[in-house]
Amino acid sequence: MVEKSASLASEAAAPAGSAGTGLGGTHFERGRQLAQRAHQIIPGGAHTYAKGDDQFPEQAPPFIVRGKGCHAWDLDGNEFIEYNMGLRAVTLGHAYEPVIRAAAEALPFGTNFTRPAPIEVECAERFLELIPTAQMVKYCKDGSTAVDAAVRLARAHTGRDKIAICGDHPFFSTSDWFIGTTGMPAGIPRWIRDATVRFRYNDLASVEAMFDAHPDQIACVILEAARTVEPAPGFLEGLKALCHRRGAVLVFDEMITGFRWHRSGAQHIYGVTPDLSAFGKAIANGFGVSAVAGTRELMELGGLKTSRERVFLLSTTHGAETHALAAAIATMKVYRDEDVTGHLHRQGRRLRDGISKIVAELKLEGYFDCIGRDCCLLFGTNDADRKPSQPMRTLFMQETIRRGVIAPALVVSYSHTDRDIDLTIEIVGEALAVYRKALEEGVGKYLQGRPVKPVFRPFA
């Protein structure tokens, strides 16, 4: 075992009844008791599929009760360095003081009124200052709703029905037009499933073929500007030109790339401005705020100054809750005044370099890989035949959790210090030593319990 860092219990009170056990844990009795209750009243035991029991090893904390910076504590008092915090939404850090203070200061004045609150205008102005490629913005609560709004605008603008999605990207919306294309299409009519078509990333020929197969039918093309693979030279520029030549709207899903690739989004990094964009996650450091943004011509279809048939764009009861917008403003101020994305890239590179050195020492090239941009690292796990392996993924997570790192991905935050990164590298090194043995002797000898499973699967 490596030497553990000092507990952060002095910075925040430990959970009631907990003595605080330091980094790592193998005992989750209180958490498992609550999990049994959760499964009786919540389908799947969690309100977000990616947080469900099937996504983590059996030897994992069932619940997180509090966090500070990049550290988190479970119901049994175990402490962890956390990655991928809040599904990449908590980019500054848990309980980040300026954000929490802004939300708290807004709460005593009320959260929701009969008419708009002035903070709605301020929050829109702050967003458009950071995302100058957009001309108008409208807020809502989650990423799916923002992407759905972009789809509706595109369909109204073009008079077309079909939606084209990048088949290499995993998720765009919880709505039928997207979920019908996944491995969990139950309950979605066939005619809705058929309204969505796919193309390949970095493959303009596949986009051209898609337009040829569905002439004058595709309303919009939706993709992340980048994910684990960078855009090939000319791909995004060519995609935009092709969409406009074929009369379709180009939509960037910036839920992950926005406020992580750059404070002005991936569209700034790559120099390609989409017609519409959807932002969320990091925009308010975990508070429920998302946004659809784009050209005035398209966005005004949902406003009061259009001569065309109006679009019911966004009209959510809680979309402009004042405390959440205050949190968003505070978060955007941090991005404006501090080099957040530079820190994310630097710490991600430090983590990648350290892990890559261990992978080389253990001769694990082709068996374990760090994947993606430094600011948004994922990891790939392969078996002895170098094929993707869920059991090996589970084993890696099991061994890092045991030692004090919870990492469904290796995505860093602004609160990950050099010490956190260095300690994580040591812990990953120990976990990969077990991983090496499992490749040689069989994963069943080391894995405790069942392997994790993909979210999108037709049967439990």
Residues 353 and 326 in one domain: no
> pLDDT tens digit string along 21-72?
469 888 999 999 999 999 999 999 999 999 999 999 999 999 999 999 999 9
Q: What is the dihedral of CA 127, 226, 235, 332, to 10 degrees?
A: 10
Q: Which of 264, 278, 273 is nearest to 165 (CA)?
A: 278
Alpha-carbon gap, residue 302 to 318, rounded angstroms = 18
CATH code of residue 357: 3.90.1150.10
Alpha-carbon distances of 134 from 52, 74, 159, 258, rounded to whole Å? 36, 41, 23, 13
Please write the tens of the pLDDT for every residue from 241-255: 999 999 999 999 999
Task: Please list the residues that pair with 73 across neighbouring strands.
Answer: 66, 79
Residues 208 and 328 in one domain: yes
CA 146 and chain centroid, separation: 14
Domain match, 73 and 104 both: no
Could you say which of 283, 306, 337 is where a domain stops? 337
Which range marks the domain in which residue 381 is found? 29-82+339-445
pLDDT (tens digit per residue) in 254-290: 999 999 999 999 999 999 999 999 999 999 999 999 9
- Let me know whether 318 and 360 are in one domain: no
Residues 118 and 36 in one domain: no
Residue 254, phi-psi category: left (phi > 0), alpha (psi -120 to 50), beta (remainder): alpha
Q: Beta strand 71-74 with 64-68: parallel, antiparallel or unpaired? A: antiparallel
- Domain for residue 381, yes or no? yes
C-alpha R_g of the chain: 23
Note whether residue 424 is domain-resident.
Answer: yes
Q: Write out the chain's pLDDT in tens, 460 residues.
A: 233 333 333 333 333 333 334 698 889 999 999 999 999 999 999 999 999 999 999 999 999 999 999 999 999 999 999 999 999 999 999 999 999 999 999 999 999 999 999 999 999 999 999 999 999 999 999 999 999 999 999 999 999 999 999 999 999 999 999 999 999 999 999 999 999 999 999 999 999 999 999 999 999 999 999 999 999 999 999 999 999 999 999 999 999 999 999 999 999 999 999 999 999 999 999 999 999 999 999 999 998 888 898 888 888 999 999 999 999 999 999 999 999 999 999 999 999 999 999 999 999 999 999 999 999 999 999 999 999 999 999 999 999 999 999 999 999 999 999 999 999 999 999 999 999 999 999 999 999 999 999 999 888 8
324 and 349, same domain (yes or no): no
Tell whether 42 and 135 lie within a shared domain: no
What is the number of alpha carbons within 13 Å of residue 141 lying toward its C-beta? 9
Same domain, 331 and 343: no
**For residue 327, how many other CB atoms are within 10 A of its CB?**
28
CATH of the domain at 200: 3.40.640.10
Where is the domain boundary, 317, 337, 357?
A: 337
Number of domains making up the chain: 2
Q: Are residues 124 and 181 in the same domain?
A: yes
Cα 367 to Cα 389: distance, rounded to the nearest angstrom: 9
pLDDT at 215: 97
H or E segment and range at residue 138: strand 136-140
- What pTM did the predictor assign? 0.92
Residue 55 domain-assigned (yes or no): yes
CA distance 149 to 157: 12
Same domain membership, residue 272 and residue 156: yes
Q: What is the pLDDT of residue 426?
A: 97
Q: Of the residues 337, 368, 388, which one is the last residue of a structural domain? A: 337
Q: Are residues 261 and 402 in the same domain?
A: no
- Give the model's pLDDT for residue 22: 64
Assess whether 352 and 309 both reside in one domain: no
Residue 85's alpha-carbon distances to 54, 97, 273, 323, in angstroms, are: 18, 16, 29, 21
Q: What's the gap between Cα 247 and its chain centre?
A: 30
